[in-house]
Amino acid sequence: MGYPTKVQVIQRQKSEQWYINVPAAVAHVLEFEKGEVVEWTVQDKNTLVLTRVQAAQPTREPPRKKKR
């Protein structure tokens, strides 16, 4: 399933800043952390690839309760 996202831009007198927000559902599934560094790679004019600079640490699942 895709998550449509609008591209936003803030224009200033001498510069502009472009933004692409990551939907919360995607950020949670990928377990993004505040301040985490990612890198965009332009594959072609229709494809951007987002890569973590440092690999994510494996998550530890909480211990499951034993059934009685």
pLDDT digits (tens, 9 = 90+) for 4-50: 999 999 999 999 999 999 999 999 999 999 999 999 999 999 999 99
User: How many Å apart are CA 56 and CA 29, to the nearest integer?
Assistant: 12
Count structural domains, the chain.
1
> pTM score > 0.85 for this model?
no
- 57 inside domain: yes
Alpha-carbon distances of 59 from 5, 16, 43, 52, 56, rounded to whole Å = 27, 38, 29, 16, 9
Range of the domain at 57: 35-68
In the beta sheet, which residues pair with residue 32? none
Q: Does 10 reside within a domain? A: no
Residue 48 lies in a domain: yes
**Residue 27 within a domain:** no
CA distances from 13 to 7, 16, 17, 20 (A): 20, 8, 11, 21
Say yes or no to pLDDT of 63 above 70. Answer: no
